[in-house]
């Protein structure tokens, strides 16, 4: 694929030839996959009663220092597979009863994924496709997924770009992420649900509250509500889990109930109604997939 010979798929814009070397994401021209399964712990409108058909891609273009999936995102655990095999996995998950196909961290493999979906979508593959992303995306890359993705499951990690620099090594996160989310919304529009309450199309934006950064989380929620109102779903998450020792001491602890409640209270005060909140106990390592049970 020509795009991979001078890779500019994400805002890092490495420009490397991925047939010969790797860029910031760590990926070559071939798909590396870590894991796939029916995931019960996504938002209820995605997981339903049977699970979301999650496909975890190896490597990542953001590489947050606190990543709970460090084994695959940074260390690159996984197995090289062909485009054909990726399509077979999607159909296998559909046969297993998945409510959707959930592409986790797909950015650096968009050309390959788009090629697979163009052959399967609306034909052998009939369930919705979810694009699960950090939102550190280029609009042009997302445009390749237009009409192939039904649901965008997007993070908005940072409002303050100094935090983005400290924790993810990029100084332009908010600008790129908000432009990307605008494109996602343009493609899929307001949420649409089936008769069982499962999401058929639309945009969910996750706000992971980092310990010690409540004000940043509030600014993100304010931005999202001011920009999109009730036309998107905001997922306010308390599940930050410190799994890797960090030089920033605030990241070595979990969010407190009081901190989470403060952010939820703020969201309610500004009028947010289309939102998911989490119960206590979601910040557990048991919610992190066991990549050692690789079924590839």
- Give percent of the chain above pLDDT 90: 93
Structure confidence at residue 100 (pLDDT): 98
Domains of the chain: 33-286 (3.20.20.70)
292: confidence class by pLDDT, cuts 50, 70, 90: low
Residues 55 and 93: beta-carbon distance below 8 Å? yes
Q: What is the mean pLDDT of the chain?
A: 94
Residue 160, φ and ψ in degrees, nearest 5 = -85, 115
Bridge-based pairing state of the strands 199-208 and 192-193 = antiparallel
Q: What was the pLDDT predicted at 288? A: 46
pLDDT of residue 183 exceeding 60, the answer is: yes
Task: Return the pLDDT at 287.
Answer: 45
The pLDDT tens digits for 109-126 are 999 999 999 999 999 999
Mind listing the pLDDT tens digit for each residue in 193-243? 999 999 999 999 999 999 999 999 999 999 999 999 999 999 999 999 998
pTM of the model: 0.94
pLDDT at 296: 59
- pLDDT attached to residue 290: 53
Q: In sequence order, what DSSP letters do the residues of 226-258 get, joined into one string?
A: HHHGGGSEEEEE------S--SSGGGGSPPPHH
Contact 111, 144 (CB under 8 A): yes
The answer to whether residue 52 scores a pLDDT higher than 90 is: yes
pLDDT bin (cut points 50, 70, 90) of residue 256 is very high
Whole-number pLDDT of residue 149: 98
- Residues 80-102 pLDDT 10s: 999 999 999 999 999 999 999 99
- Can you spell out the DSSP letters for 74-95? TS--SEEE-HHHHHHHHHHHHH
The tokens describing 21, both together, are 């070397």
**Whole-number pLDDT of residue 56:** 97
**Over 50: is that where the pLDDT of 282 sits?**
no
Kindly tell me the burial class for residue 235, based on how many C-beta atoms sit within 10 Å of its own C-beta (0-12, 13-18, 19 or more): buried
State how far the Cα of 171 lies from the Cα of 150, in Å rounded to an integer: 30
> Using CA atoms, how far apart are residues 106 and 127, in angstroms rounded to an integer?
18
DSSP H helices in the chain: 44-47, 70-73, 83-95, 110-120, 139-143, 161-168, 173-188, 214-228, 257-269
Length of the chain: 296
For residues 217 and 159, what is the distance between their CA atoms, to the nearest angstrom? 8
CB 211 within 8 A of CB 254: yes
Q: 32-59: string of b/e by CB count within 10 Å (b at 16+)?
A: bbbbbbbbebbbebbbbeebbbbbbbbb
Tens-digit pLDDT profile for residues 206-219: 999 999 999 999 99
Region at 26 (left for phi over 0; alpha for psi -120 to 50; beta for the rest)? left
Residue 244: predicted pLDDT: 82
Distance CA 283, CA 296 (A): 27
For range 58-62, the mean pLDDT: 97
Q: Tell which phi-psi region holds residue 278, choosing left (phi > 0), alpha (psi between -120 and 50) or beta.
A: beta
Confidence of residue 271 (pLDDT cuts 50, 70, 90): very high
- Residue 98's pLDDT is what? 98
Which comes out higher in pLDDT, residue 163 or 245?
163
Q: What's the confidence (pLDDT) of residue 1?
A: 83
């Amino acid at each position: 694929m020509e795009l991979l010979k001078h890779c500019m798929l994400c805002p890092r814009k490495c420009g490397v030839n991925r047939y010969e070397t790797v860029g910031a994401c760590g990926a070559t021209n071939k798909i590396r996959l870590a894991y796939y399964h029916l995931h019960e712990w996504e938002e209820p409108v995605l997981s339903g009663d049977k699970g979301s058909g999650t496909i975890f891609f190896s490597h990542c273009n953001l590489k947050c220092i606190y990543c709970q999936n460090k084994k695959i995102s940074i260390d690159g655990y996984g197995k090289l597979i062909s485009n054909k095999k990726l399509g077979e996995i999607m159909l296998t998950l559909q046969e297993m009863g998945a409510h959707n196909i959930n592409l986790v961290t797909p950015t650096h493999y968009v050309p390959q994924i788009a090629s697979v979906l163009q052959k399967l979508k609306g034909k052998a593959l009939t369930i919705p496709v979810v694009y699960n992303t950090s939102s550190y995306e280029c609009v042009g890359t997302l445009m390749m997924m237009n009409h192939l993705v039904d649901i965008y499951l997007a993070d908005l990690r940072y409002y303050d770009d100094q935090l983005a620099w400290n924790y993810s090594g990029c100084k332009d996160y908010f600008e790129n992420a908000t432009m990307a989310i605008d494109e996602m919304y343009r493609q899929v529009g307001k949420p649409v649900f089936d008769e069982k309450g499962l999401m058929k199309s639309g945009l969910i934006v996750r706000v992971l509250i980092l310990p010690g950064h409540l004000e940043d989380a509030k600014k993100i929620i304010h931005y999202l509500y001011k920009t999109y109102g009730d036309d998107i779903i905001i997922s306010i998450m308390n599940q930050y889990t410190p799994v890797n020792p960090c030089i920033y001491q605030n990241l070595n602890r979990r969010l407190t109930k009081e901190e989470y409640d403060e952010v939820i209270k703020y969201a309610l005060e500004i009028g947010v109604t289309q939102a998911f909140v989490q119960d206590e106990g979601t910040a557990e390592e048991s919610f992190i997939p066991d990549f050692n049970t690789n079924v590839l």
